[in-house]
Structure 1
Amino acid sequence: MSSTPDSAPAKPLTFRRYRDGDHQVKNWQSEIFDADHSHKCPTYIQSTPPCQGSCPSGEDIRGYLNIVRGIEKPPAGMPWQEYAWRRLTEANPLPSVMGRVCPAPCESGCNRNQVEDFVGINSVEHYLGEYAIANQLAFPKPTHSSGKKVAVIGGGPAGLSAAYQLARKGHAVTIFDERAELGGMMRYGIPGFRTPRTVLDAEIQRILDLGVQTRMSCRIGTDVTLDQIKTDFDAVFLGLGAQSGRPLPVEGSEAPNCVTATAFLKAFNDGRLRHVGKRVVVVGGGDTSIDVATVARRLGHIDQVHESDRPEHAITGHVAHDVAEVSARQGADVTLTSIFAVEKMQASRHEVEHALAEGIAIRGGLAPVKVIRDAAGRATGLLVVRCEAKIAGGKLEIKNIEGSEEVIEADLIVSAIGQSVDFTGLEALNNGRGGITADKNYQVQGEASLFVGGDVVRPHLLTTAIGHGAIAADGIDRFLAGEPLDKRPKIDVHTWDMKRKLVEKGVTLSEVHEPIRGTDSNSAAIHNFDNRSDRYVIPHEELFLGHFPWTARHRRKIVTLTAEQALNNFEERVLPLAESEAIAEAKRCMSCGLCFECDNCVVYCPQTAVFKVPKGKSTTGRYVDTDYSKCIGCHICKDVCPTGYIQMGLGE
């Protein structure tokens, strides 16, 4: 039975906000603030996702994950793995290395943490890096030469990144490095079971194949003056690195068997250090201290150590431990101390877990007081005191607890409390704080042709140094072209490019490509699209999280060793995802700030105003369009957009 009286006139239902005949607003400026009206219709706003905003090298993470998951299609004839790798390496030329050792701040920032767990970005990067090496992918060589020469001082991550970006721009690049091989701390700091040397060599060689020249075992400031380099080259990038360790600032630290972490790791990576003694104490709390502790656990000790075989001789000199080859290794007791509580240490959580599993004792809340020495001057232990440490107002505050002192016995003490830059021969560059002063383009103050990056600016992550190198390369390129160095964008990341994608697909808007936003009908524009990636990071509050079901993360296989298994085990611990796992993990990405073609807006639009763009004209980011003659500004499309790509803007 109908609930409407028969006498009632039939009237079609409508969800429009205007009365019949009143649907066209002639002067919307005068009515725009009416509380009971809406003149807002869908606009398509590309924003930076927090993963990219948290990535120090500025990778287009969302972009390559969308390629891996199959949303963005590669050009005809190109495997998706190669297309994703090429997108990734626009920012970072060392993905296989970084996929292993980067602590992945991108994952901490991932909006997926609001659903269940972050996307395994690092593991997908690792997979793509391995694919590129296995398939011998190469970077395309520059199509032109600028005729300009650039010197890159330092062959670590900052220098390699700068050299890579500069070579792609057509400049002739020469890398100078005081070591025998390139890689910086990736080779001489991080142990090989974390960065396999075959992987590091492959990714460095790919950069050199762009035409980058090298001068190894050549130290600027000693073998060649900086003035000579400035005369011979049009611009200089200073990626000096911080490879001088800091000794413990306590009495007795001059003991011969009290060494720095950088000296320890270099001796190990050079192949000189073969054993460490029965009791090793590492002072630190960061990833470097974990590297020292895990290396010490693997090297162990040997009985019947003669004076010439003591570990400090291999660390501070150039004497190899040949005796270790014929002696039975035994485990070492390794203790790592930190002024911070264990859960507040700077080291990556999974590295801490590895160390604990391998039998390394990690003790937080301990401050070194004094190195205990015997009559011969060698360290026999480290006096420590319980403490409470915190950072307040940007400064470290340590409060020692009186009466809590104890001695930790040691045959070798390693200081991993920080690193410094060796300015020998380059003293004029030292700003008095152990670094070089530069602006946001990393141009050295008062030296227009000098640019800088990496630990000499601010000791941080390897991927931070890669980002510095890329930004400095942009500045050098503009300097060489005689262009002013513009202010860097607020959010300095590599972003997905709508116009490039349209050109790649063969879609032409018109001969006029600007403006690219602000209309729903002009063929010279992309329908109401605005790229705000340079200034806006999209938070999870703007996403429709209800769209995403709980999905477990696909984890890499990580080999965890016991204390006994770790001894003399230098095999790699982190294994890459399989292809199917990489795809499945990429599908967990929520594509924050960019359409991933879920169809929600089309399905839920009550006016059928939102529609799919015809296949011949569609591409990533241009999957749907809006007919503003039908749109009533109900906001439903925005509410159900999982990625926050749809925002409500002005429209007619």
Structure 2
Amino acid sequence: MATPTDEMKSTLNYRRYDEGDGQWDDFSELIFVQDTSHKCPTYIHKTPPCQGSCPSGEDIRGYLAIARGQEKPPEGVAWEEYAFQRSTDANPFPSMMGRVCPAPCQDGCNRNDVEDFVGINSVEQYIGDTALANGYKFEAEADTGKKVAIVGGGPAGMAAAYQLRRMGHAATVFEKDPHLGGMMRYGIPNYRIPRDKLAAEMQRIVDMGVEVCTGVRVGQDVPVADLEKEYDAILWALGCQNGRGLPIDGWEGTSNCISGVAFLKAFNEGRMKVTGKKIICIGGGDTSIDVISVTRRLGYNAAAGNPEDVVADFSINHDQALADAAEPAEATLTSLFTKDKMFAAEHEIHDALHEGCVILDGVMPLEVILGEDGRATGLKVCDCTMDGMKPIPTEGTERVLEVDLIVSAIGQGGDMEGLEDMANDRNLIDADKFYQVPSKPGHFVAGDIIRPHLLTTAIGQASVAVESIDHYMKSEEQAKRPKVDVHHFDLMNKLHEAGLDPEQFDSHDGDLRGTASANFAVHNFEDRSAQEVVGSSDLFLGHFSFTPRVLRGEDVPSADDVLGHFNERLILLSEEQVQAEAKRCMSCGMCFECDNCVIFCPQDAVFRVRKDESTTGRYVNTDYNKCIGCHICSDVCPTGYIQMGLGE
């Protein structure tokens, strides 16, 4: 969990060793002869916890190193473009993710054990927006002749199309809605995701040669059998755009009881420009926050009629005149959990309160109160405590809240109409560990239709699914997925990029008893990134000084100014601010060229590699004729890159 801002400490007291740790445990170790030790430095590449916590597996450490100037781009490539290339190896939507991803990477950041996490989202937003401003493009590989049908044009479907084109496979996207984007377009308000930037990130993928068929529903407009005949594989990336109703009396069949998904879609399609006077949303996640925040921005106009009509009837489009004459609306969120345990991001809760929303936490719904016309007029609630995920009502706290519209934001489900043969008993689609649909060869699945989760989760699943599709179309056996399944930094690729490829190995040339003087091997380096995530206990945290996080500005309106306020919320950092924030990255699991090991080695055994032979991951080396195995270099390595090995 990230360190709360008000608990951050400006005085650091890190110590690697406690009192007494400097004493030998027994007499034999006390008389240890150092110069007979077989232990010498080995340079170990591990996955940083930011990347290990990222469901799409972005090389976050890599693009932060590029932003701060430590990892150099190839000649003629700007650092912004190089960082864009590194970022989008895993995720083609840096502009979107930098804005709306809840950032599990920041919760996992080892810098939380120093003072506060690195603002990864803010750097990613800069990378994404700069890429759009400079017109950076994606490149597709030469066509392989293989074709894949992708059902769904949301984050999972479009990420899959992107990865397929990078492999040279043709991709056709079938999307039931008029526009691409899925929940990024229809489920998140425009002040959080600017529509021009969303469209541009989608178009950049289409420009790779992706065919798009919008307004087409597979299973109704196009039979599944036709896709099976025409394409080599099918990826199901339907998403979950059906909201769940409340399991309480009075909900079912009541016209002004709707889902949060339907509410936000009506708004995001531009049809709903005003809403009810008193809105209650039941939830606690980001969707519920979006519902009440949108309500405060839209306001209320009695001339618009019942607020649910525009949600239910797709032919209704509110006139702008209704919005121009709107009055402030009351927006209330009820959550089973207290604010500190709600699933919504902390800053989203804070912003909603600042905008004049009311949050009743520790409250559970009991019953929808109906009027004579059959519409809901109130919601009966009571206080509650939580036993795990089960609410326990508090007797004597029952009351009725007046309401014009009740919105349920307690989860989402799949719309499998016409695809019943694909659905499981939860109305989702089953997947194996390779994201293949069991018992359906050639069918693969990714995203919320497996289990609703984060946008970045859907994108990560799409990447794995595409690898599985590639193996399937090549009739290759599926390899076991690595323990740490992410888009890792590859030292061999970096050496190739820098013109430092190892020489061709010749078994008939020279002494093969060792490789210390040979150039056909990468010496004293081990890549454990597919197996290990480096924790803060492996770092020398004492190297890092207290450095406050560079915060993005936010345009969050007050309760008095929120009506009609649809300006983008997050303010982009400047290049200087981005580079300053990137310098806070501790480069966990990878050398960041601090020279500690060179400076503190008492034998001068650790040395810098010659500049014309140096690149990221190959900055220092060891003279093993001088090394006595004292392990000082390992102790003072801030990033946990050095471990004592090569013997015993």
TM-score normalised over the length of structure 1: 0.92
Task: Note the C-alpha offset of 1:433.
Answer: 2.1
Does structure 2 conserve the Cα–Cα contact (< 8 Å) formed by 1:65 and 1:589?
Answer: yes
> What's the counterpart of residue 160 of structure 1?
158
Name which of 363, 368, 371 aligns with 2:368. 371
> What's the counterpart of residue 597 of structure 2?
601
Structure 2: runs of 5+ lacking an equivalent: 1-27, 508-513
Aligned equivalents of 2:67, 2:484: Cα separation in 1? 24
Aligned equivalents of 2:506, 2:565: Cα separation in 1? 59
Residues 231, 544 of structure 1: alpha-carbon distance in 2 compared, 3 angstrom cutoff: same
Aligned equivalents of 1:42, 1:566: Cα separation in 2? 59
SS of 1:385's partner is strand
Aligned equivalents of 1:563, 1:380: Cα separation in 2? 25
SS of 1:561's partner is coil
> What's the counterpart of residue 245 of structure 2?
247
Structure 1: runs of 5+ lacking an equivalent: 1-30
Name which of 318, 342, 346 aligns with 1:345. 342
Does structure 2 conserve the Cα–Cα contact (< 8 Å) formed by 1:63 and 1:496?
Answer: yes
Residues 513, 567 of structure 1: alpha-carbon distance in 2 compared, 3 angstrom cutoff: farther
Structure 1, residues 539-559: CA drift from partner, whole Å, max 9, x if none?
000100000000011111111
Which stretch of structure 1 is more off in the superposition, 639-648 or 361-370?
Answer: 361-370
Aligned equivalents of 1:513, 1:405: Cα separation in 2? 82
Does structure 2 conserve the Cα–Cα contact (< 8 Å) formed by 1:370 and 1:384?
Answer: yes
Task: Note the C-alpha offset of 1:520.
Answer: 3.5
Does structure 2 conserve the Cα–Cα contact (< 8 Å) formed by 1:176 and 1:220?
Answer: yes
Aligned equivalents of 2:232, 2:218: Cα separation in 1? 16
> What's the counterpart of residue 187 of structure 1?
185
Residues 410, 529 of structure 1: alpha-carbon distance in 2 compared, 3 angstrom cutoff: same
Aligned equivalents of 2:105, 2:313: Cα separation in 1? 40
Structure 1, residues 263-315: CA drift from partner, whole Å, max 9, x if none?
10110011111111111100000000011110001001024x36xx2211100
SS of 1:451's partner is strand
Query: Aligned pair count?
Result: 610
1:514-553 alignment, distance < 5 Å? 520-553=516-549
Aligned equivalents of 1:363, 1:40: Cα separation in 2? 60
Does structure 1 conserve the Cα–Cα contact (< 8 Å) formed by 2:435 and 2:468?
Answer: yes
Task: Note the C-alpha offset of 1:486.
Answer: 1.1
Structure 1, residues 224-268: CA drift from partner, whole Å, max 9, x if none?
121221111000100010000111111111221111111101100
Aligned Cα RMSD in Å? 1.7
Structure 1, residues 17-36: CA drift from partner, whole Å, max 9, x if none?
xxxxxxxxxxxxxx99x966
Aligned equivalents of 2:572, 2:319: Cα separation in 1? 35
Q: Report whether the alignment pairs 1:579 with 2:572.
A: no
Aligned equivalents of 2:295, 2:576: Cα separation in 1? 37
Aligned equivalents of 1:471, 1:323: Cα separation in 2? 45
Q: Report whether the alignment pairs 1:625 with 2:621.
A: yes
Task: Note the C-alpha offset of 1:328.
Answer: 1.6
Aligned equivalents of 1:566, 1:550: Cα separation in 2? 37
TM-score normalised over the length of structure 2: 0.92
Task: Note the C-alpha offset of 1:323.
Answer: 6.9
Does structure 2 conserve the Cα–Cα contact (< 8 Å) formed by 1:520 and 1:628?
Answer: no
Q: Report whether the alignment pairs 1:417 with 2:403.
A: no
Does structure 2 conserve the Cα–Cα contact (< 8 Å) formed by 1:521 and 1:527?
Answer: no
The residue type paired with residue 64 of structure 1 is: Y
Aligned equivalents of 1:626, 1:520: Cα separation in 2? 10
Structure 1, residues 481-519: CA drift from partner, whole Å, max 9, x if none?
1111111111111111111111111113211399xxx95
Task: Note the C-alpha offset of 1:172.
Answer: 0.7
Aligned equivalents of 2:445, 2:65: Cα separation in 1? 33
Residues 546, 413 of structure 1: alpha-carbon distance in 2 compared, 3 angstrom cutoff: same
Aligned equivalents of 1:175, 1:132: Cα separation in 2? 24
Task: Note the C-alpha offset of 1:650.
Answer: 1.7
Task: Note the C-alpha offset of 1:436.
Answer: 1.5
Does structure 2 conserve the Cα–Cα contact (< 8 Å) formed by 1:279 and 1:409?
Answer: yes
Give the greater-gyration-radius structure (CA): 1
Q: Report whether the alignment pairs 1:329 with 2:329.
A: no
Aligned equivalents of 1:386, 1:62: Cα separation in 2? 44
Aligned equivalents of 1:320, 1:249: Cα separation in 2? 31
> What's the counterpart of residue 389 of structure 1?
386
Residues 390, 59 of structure 1: alpha-carbon distance in 2 compared, 3 angstrom cutoff: farther
SS of 1:175's partner is strand
> What's the counterpart of residue 263 of structure 1?
262
Does structure 2 conserve the Cα–Cα contact (< 8 Å) formed by 1:519 and 1:528?
Answer: no
Aligned equivalents of 1:404, 1:78: Cα separation in 2? 64
Aligned equivalents of 1:327, 1:72: Cα separation in 2? 52
Which stretch of structure 1 is more off in the superposition, 322-331 or 79-88?
Answer: 322-331
Amino-acid identity (%): 55
Aligned equivalents of 2:55, 2:545: Cα separation in 1? 30
> What's the counterpart of residue 645 of structure 2?
649
Q: Report whether the alignment pairs 1:556 with 2:552.
A: yes
> What's the counterpart of residue 315 of structure 1?
311
The residue type paired with residue 384 of structure 1 is: V
